[in-house]
Amino acid sequence: MQQNNGLDKKQLISFGIFSMILIGFMFYFQNRNAQAEQEKLALEAKKTEQTTKSKPAATNLNAATVTPNSVQKVNLQNDELSLEFSSVGGQLSSVKLNKFEAFGGKPLYLFNNNNASYGFQFTDKSGKVFNTKDLVFAPQVAGNVVTLNTKIGNAVIQFIYTLKAKYTVDFQVKTQGLGSVVNDGKANFVWNYNVRGAEKGRSQEETHTEFAYAFNNYKDYDYDARSDMDEPDETLNWIGIKQQFFSAVIEAKNGFTKSKGFQEAIPEGEYLKKFNYDGQVNLAGNELNQDFTWYFMPLDIELLKSYDKNFDEILPLGWSFIGSLNRYVFIPLYNLISGWGIAAGWAIFWMTIIVKLILSPVMFKQHKLSAMMKVIRPEIDEVNAKFKDADPMKKQQETMAVYRKAGVNQMAGCLPALVQIPLFYALFRFFPNMLDLRGKSFWFVPDLTAYDDIISWGTNIPLLGNHLSVFALACTVVILIYTIMTSGNIQQPQQEGMPNMKVLMYIFPITFLFFLNSSASGLSWYYFVSNAINIVIILVIKYFILDEKKIHAQIQENKKKEPKKEGTFQKRMREMMEKAQEQQKLQEQARNKKK
């Protein structure tokens, strides 16, 4: 028979460890249950506190606990806007522009899916901060008016929205008994907005997404595209956040003061930028009874002007003369041509032709000068060879003498370039901001305000992206051909270390490709047509207008004659060179004396 000797040492150790684990679990679950019970009691106490009326200012500030049952949605709609209002915060929770679509045929929403929230922020008598966007309102609809009411303590807050024509929503705020809750005489309007992309070109649209605001009784306008906004001293009449073609704006009849804002780009995804705005509104007798207006507008210049609130400045057509060119030349010209009923791309084509005709005297003079300089190139080379070892000033004087005898004014070639600089910048502003071009197709281009990507690939190449614009490529090729045709008259630098100007001119069209590749295809198309016309003009001048042999013979004949009287500019240039040459000799003499 086997004898039972009791528990051995290993069994005692195992039993002890098991007992400790068991006791640990008992204490853990006991503490967890106790904690859960405490949380339950705290929650019940909180609910009790919320329903107690002994401390209305403190208890009812937290009364707006949002539950699924507390969220109600009501709607208004007209031909232009479809609006949804939420009982949570009494806010516009959805704003859809009915006459437009986002890229890809999607509905165009400015507000939707909680990408925007706004409300009035107060400080109660106990120092606590609360915002109307966290309160629950009771909505009512009557015709084109939505009224939302809420109570906080003994105060009643009422928001009244009225949907009107021209993308306008009147927004009245009324309070009664607010003085029982607050006593500092002010409130802050706080607006948070994640702007959703609506266009094809993300980088281009992000560049045009920014703060916009007016002040000084609507007379002055400013914008901020990259940095924090800070206007502590101005009273803003309206504050808006614009995109490439659309804008959400809120106007305060009594103005916003102490305004500040923050913006941050969102690298990828559905949204482009994150905006936060905070502006103060003053209370009258500790009551907020003020009128505001929301505008959810397409950036059409005639529509913007019709409001008479300086909204047309939102459209970034350029400052001063640049903006005037767009407002009074290019936009009316495009509208006139497109009114003929032709496709947008052909309207741009004919607009280019008309602009070229207007500039034809200046452009003809430039191309004629270019052709003449090519003809006298042998004479310039002869001077360079003859005065190869001479003083640079002397060589320059002889070179200018050749130009003078040939009747070539070098400075005349600068005028067309100066004329084209503002035109280029104006068109750079025109094409990506012209609403009438948005979504207009031409040949293989679905949207003339965005790049074409018929040639595309999956990976992202630095500077180029994931596509190659055909219009940008065609424009680059034409500019390169034009450069080759005009580079023959460029004088190469004689001094060591100076850059080769021909090489730089060939590099320019290539770098231009990277710029145009992500820009509006309408801009590339315009410059393709423009430079193609330049090539035609050069060929016409060369083969039908200028006789190179005759010009060359005239130069040889002029050499035998007395030099023509210098022009004012040429005389000044010669005097400056002589002075510089004299100063250089004096400096060399001083250095020789020191030696």
Partner residues linked to 94 by β-bridges: 84
d(CA 595, CA 587): 13
pLDDT of residue 200: 87
Q: Show me where the domains of the chain are located.
A: 68-316, 322-561, 565-595
d(CA 372, CA 321): 33
d(CA 135, CA 130): 9
d(CA 197, CA 265): 12
Partner residues linked to 195 by β-bridges: 273
**Helices and strands (H and E) in the chain: how many:** 16, 20
Q: Which helix (H) or strand (E) holds 587?
A: helix 568-594
Q: Using H for helix, E for strand and C for coil, what is the string for 57-92?
A: HHHHHHCCCCCHHHCCEEEEECCCEEEEEECECCEE
Partner residues linked to 247 by β-bridges: 242, 297
User: Top-level CATH class of 68-316?
Assistant: mainly beta
Handedness of CA 527, 529, 531, 537 (dihedral sign): negative
pLDDT of residue 392: 65
Quote the tokens at residue 42: 């705290």
d(CA 587, CA 20): 99
Residue 228 and residue 276 in contact, taking contact as beta carbons nearer than 8 Å: no
Q: pLDDT tens per residue, the chain (595 residues)?
A: 333 333 344 443 444 444 454 444 444 444 444 444 444 434 443 443 443 333 333 334 444 455 556 688 999 999 999 999 999 999 999 999 999 989 888 999 999 999 999 999 998 888 888 899 999 999 999 999 999 999 988 889 999 999 999 999 999 999 998 888 887 888 999 999 999 999 887 888 888 899 999 999 999 998 887 778 889 899 999 999 999 999 999 999 999 999 999 999 998 888 999 999 999 998 888 889 999 999 999 999 999 999 999 999 998 888 888 888 888 989 999 989 988 989 989 999 999 998 888 877 777 777 777 767 777 777 777 777 777 666 666 677 777 777 776 666 666 556 666 777 788 888 888 888 888 888 888 888 888 888 888 888 878 788 777 878 888 888 888 888 888 777 655 555 444 444 455 566 677 778 878 888 888 888 889 889 988 988 888 788 777 776 667 766 766 666 666 555 555 655 666 566 566 666 666 666 666 666 5
Query: Which residues, other chains included, contact 76 with Cβ-Cβ below 8 Å and sequence gap of 6+?
Result: 82, 83, 85, 141, 144, 146, 161, 163
